[in-house]
Amino acid sequence: MSLKQQISDDMKAAMRAKESERLATIRLLLAAMKQKEVDERIELDDAAIVGVIDKMIKQRKDSIAAFTQAGRSELADKEAAEIKVIEAYLPQRMSADEVAAEVKAIVAELGAKGPGDMGKVMGVVKTRLAGKAEMGQVSAAVKAALTGA
């Protein structure tokens, strides 16, 4: 079953179970997926859907930071609950050690040396690790590998 079909089925199940918060979050996810399909005139595959999910999680983490700083804990809690629902659709993530090992292999393969090659390395790393690892963690691993830290 495709990820898109699973999300649609989960929306129907949330409707039947009258889980309003979960249903609202799943509808937001489906709306973001549909928006991307319409904007780019494409049919999203599982990898592209994972990209949409990653973007939504990042937005919510940014919102949590802003709400916490502003003293709006009820809104931060709502965003955290949405993250839990959305994260259920992500595939199993790689550990930090696995990410570091993969990045080192790519750096060696490309013969990259120093921070000036970060763009070249990130281009390859993004395609290979898309959906498998959180990109902030990947970026930090690339910096560490290129600076020799």
Give the per-residue pLDDT at 59. Answer: 95
Q: Are residues 64 and 134 in the same domain?
A: no
Q: Are residues 69 and 25 in the same domain?
A: yes
From 68, 87, 106, the end of a domain falls on: 87
Quick: pLDDT tens for 56-74.
999 999 999 999 999 999 9
Helix, strand or coil for residue 95? coil
Report how many domains make up the chain.
2
State which amino acid sits at residue 75: L
- Give, in order, the Cα–Cα distances in Å from 149 to each of 48, 112, 139: 32, 15, 13
Q: What is the average pLDDT across 97-120?
A: 85
State which amino acid sits at residue 100: A
Asked if pLDDT for residue 130 goes beyond 90, the answer is no
Q: Are residues 62 and 9 in the same domain?
A: yes
Q: Are residues 7 and 78 in the same domain?
A: yes
What share of the chain in percent tops pLDDT 90? 54
pTM, 2 dp? 0.77
Residue 135, domain extent: 96-147
Residue 60: closest CA among 47, 77, 39, 37? 77
Asked if pLDDT for residue 114 goes beyond 80, the answer is no
Quick: pLDDT tens for 34-63.
999 999 999 999 888 988 998 999 999 999
